[in-house]
């Protein structure tokens, strides 16, 4: 059984969560006009500031990727990305990050971006060097939990979790700050997930384009590249200024993994379906696997766990129903909605046999566990690699909730995820390179 501390904290947590949900219901009736820009975090939640230097082995930065909405992404870049592609005799020098914390004039290399543009302003964090040989790391899109209405890519708990995942899996994590309900109901969060996937593909294509332009620039001396100076910044043709240098220098989008936590698991599964539908249109992005951590599934016909554990810890069934009422439009409210039930009869998209390998994490004392297990079983029936990791004495969000993040069980869960994920992100012939 969970500890006494977990039980007491669960009671306190559910009271606060229920109060928040009821407040959101009272101030946001269904007939109110939607806020298309929306919010991606709540003002009353603790957040962690981005840190572009490798203070604890992971550098972070925030990017607002859609000017029309609040959609953001926090990039988690592990320091291992700075390792050379080939072994060197002096590892100490090869692992030293090129940081520039002062405002004094930097050396020529540190005043260039990864495409050779000079005269850039000093950046108080990690800046990729075009002369440094570095590794290309897989990319993991992470969708946080919070019952559709809370949490965020920059929340303190999510920041800690993503740093841990970036290090143990040795991947670049893109934590998606999707729009929250009730300001933006279904399908806003799902559409934001797909939008980030396409944004990642655009970044990869722009990076490849800029590399070619960079080579031509040396030969043409800037005649065809047509650089212009805008407020001290160099802007290349074809949108080179839009390229995210961390991803251009270190990301390998052909090894992309989706990871969803709680309601984020529902988003991840939807994004995986859209990736299968898009096929080669997403190139060079390829979704090779997904991880669903205690997904927020529900349905009209209750499972055994939904009956026996309805009043379980943290996100019990009554509280979760309130969250669904805030997320689904009133006219679409149905527990067999495709966003809620992955095995609903009206689920659209590709057949299950085309879904990527799927790891499902469930907790013994989570009322949603049976439906997640049933989905994994259906995937296995059509020969999709879909194992289930069930953790004894665990509760919903046992590996991602703030007070449980530092428990041995949470650490073990991250390591178990890493072991499975590396089957699909390791380069062939280098399975132990991670």
Is residue 224 classed exposed, middle or buried when 0-12, 13-18 and 19+ CB atoms within 10 A define those classes?
exposed
User: Which of 35-44, 49-58, 163-172: highest mean pLDDT?
Assistant: 163-172
pLDDT number for residue 242: 78
- Predicted confidence band of residue 241 (pLDDT cuts 50, 70, 90): low
Does position 376 have pLDDT exceeding 90, yes or no?
A: yes
Per-residue DSSP letter, 111: G
- Predicted confidence band of residue 370 (pLDDT cuts 50, 70, 90): very high
pLDDT number for residue 224: 40
Say which of 70, 366, 370, 386 is annotated catalytic.
366
> In this structure, what is the dihedral angle of CA atoms 353, 359, 363, 366, given to the nearest 10 degrees?
-40
Rounded to whole angstroms, the Cα distance separating 110 from 133 reads: 15
> What is the per-residue burial (b if ≥16 Cβ within 10 Å, else e) of 95-113?
eebebbeeeeebeeeebbb
What average pLDDT does the chain have?
Answer: 83
Is residue 123 classed exposed, middle or buried when 0-12, 13-18 and 19+ CB atoms within 10 A define those classes?
middle
pLDDT, tens digit (0-9, with 9 covering 90-100), for 285-308: 999 999 999 999 999 999 999 999
Does position 431 have pLDDT exceeding 80, yes or no?
A: no
Conformation bin of residue 221: beta by default, left when phi > 0, alpha when psi is -120 to 50? left
Say which of 80, 129, 262, 305 is annotated catalytic.
262
pLDDT number for residue 121: 39
Q: What angle do CA 294, 298, 299 make, to 5 degrees?
A: 150
Of 165 and 87, which is predicted with more confidence?
Answer: 165
55 Cβ contact partners less than 8 Å away, ≥ 6 residues apart: none
Residue ranges of domains in the chain, CATH in brackets: 2-80+130-216+237-423 (3.40.50.1820)
Residue 354 is encoded by which pair of tokens? 């085309």
Rounded to whole angstroms, the Cα distance separating 330 from 327 reads: 9
Distances (CA, A) of 70 to 65, 67, 174, 276, 327: 8, 7, 16, 26, 17
Task: Collapse the DSSP code of 320 into the 3-class scheme (helix H, G, I; strand E, B; otherwise coil) and give the result.
Answer: helix
Whether 262 is catalytic is yes
CB 59 within 8 A of CB 51: yes
């Amino acid at each position: 059984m969970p500890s006494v501390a977990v039980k007491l904290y669960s009671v306190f947590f559910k009271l606060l969560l229920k109060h928040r949900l009821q407040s959101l219901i009272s101030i946001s009736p269904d007939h109110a006009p939607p806020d298309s820009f929306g919010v991606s975090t709540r003002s009353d939640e603790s957040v962690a500031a981005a840190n572009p230097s490798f203070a604890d082995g992971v550098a972070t930065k925030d990017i607002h990727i859609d000017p029309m909405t609040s959609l953001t992404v926090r990039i988690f870049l592990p320091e291992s990305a700075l390792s050379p592609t080939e072994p060197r005799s002096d590892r100490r020098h090869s692992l030293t990050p090129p940081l520039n914390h002062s405002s004094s004039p930097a050396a020529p290399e540190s005043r260039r971006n990864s495409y050779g543009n000079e005269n850039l302003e000093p950046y108080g964090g990690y800046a990729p060097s075009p002369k440094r040989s570095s590794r290309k790391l897989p990319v993991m899109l992470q969708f946080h939990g919070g019952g559709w209405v809370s949490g965020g890519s920059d929340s303190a708990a999510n920041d800690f979790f993503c740093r841990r995942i970036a290090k143990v899996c040795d991947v670049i994590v893109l934590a998606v700050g999707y729009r929250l309900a009730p300001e933006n109901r279904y399908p806003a969060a799902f559409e934001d997930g797909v939008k980030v996937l396409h944004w990642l593909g655009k970044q990869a294509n722009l990076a490849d384009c800029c590399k070619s332009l960079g080579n031509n620039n040396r030969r043409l001396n800037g005649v065809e590249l047509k650089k212009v100076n805008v407020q001290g910044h160099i802007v290349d043709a074809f949108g080179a200024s839009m390229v995210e240098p961390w991803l251009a220098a270190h990301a390998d989008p052909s090894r992309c993994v989706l990871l969803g936590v709680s309601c984020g698991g529902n988003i991840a599964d939807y994004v995986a379906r859209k990736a299968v539908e898009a096929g080669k249109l997403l190139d060079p992005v390829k979704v090779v696997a997904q991880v669903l951590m205690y997904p927020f599934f529900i349905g009209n016909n209750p499972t055994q766990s939904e009956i026996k554990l309805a009043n379980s810890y943290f996100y019990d069934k009554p509280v979760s129903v309130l969250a669904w009422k805030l997320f689904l439009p009133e006219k679409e409210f149905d527990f067999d909605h495709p966003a809620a039930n992955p095995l609903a009869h009206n689920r659209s998209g590709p057949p299950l046999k085309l879904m990527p390998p799927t790891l499902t994490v469930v907790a013994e004392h989570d009322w949603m566990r049976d439906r997640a297990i049933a989905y994994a079983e259906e995937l296995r029936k059509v020969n999709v690699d879909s194992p289930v990791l069930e953790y004894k004495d665990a509760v919903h969000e046992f590996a991602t909730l703030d007070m449980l993040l530092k428990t041995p069980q949470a650490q073990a869960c991250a390591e178990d995820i890493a072991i499975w994920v590396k089957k699909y992100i390791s380069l062939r012939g280098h399975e132990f390179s991670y």
